[in-house]
Amino acid sequence: MFARRKKATPIKSLDELDPLVASGKPVLIDFMQMGCAPCRVMDGIMNELAAEYPDSAHVVKIDVAKVPGAAEKFNVRSTPTFVLLGRPQPKNSAKSKKANRNKPNSRNKVTSRWRANGLIPKDQISRVLESNGARPS
């Protein structure tokens, strides 16, 4: 009767991020922990974003207490912290093309495109996703 809405995917190991990043879609990571009131508020927003961008972005959540090394790798100091991973946008200038000519895999390198922590408005996160190639369905 009712269709199930897509939710933010829980990640149990940092190795699970590799295929998501390799897909070429932006990956929005919510670093959270149980018992954190702002994390619970943002969890609902992350689930809404996962439902709005099911085909064009990966929305995942990582419990920093349960995933070893996650906080250290992404330099998470407080929760909730949000990181958007994506590929750099190509530049069309002749100077940038010449500079990247000698760099192998310069287009394939995944970078942290955006970072924030605390309570973030949903529309701000939506704008960041859309500026990195995600489209609402």
Q: Which residues are catalytic?
A: 36, 39
Residues 6+ apart with CB under 8 A from 40: none
Phi first, then psi, for residue 61 (nearest 5°) are -130, 140
Alpha helices in 1-137, H assignment, sequence order:
17-22, 37-52, 70-73, 94-101, 122-131
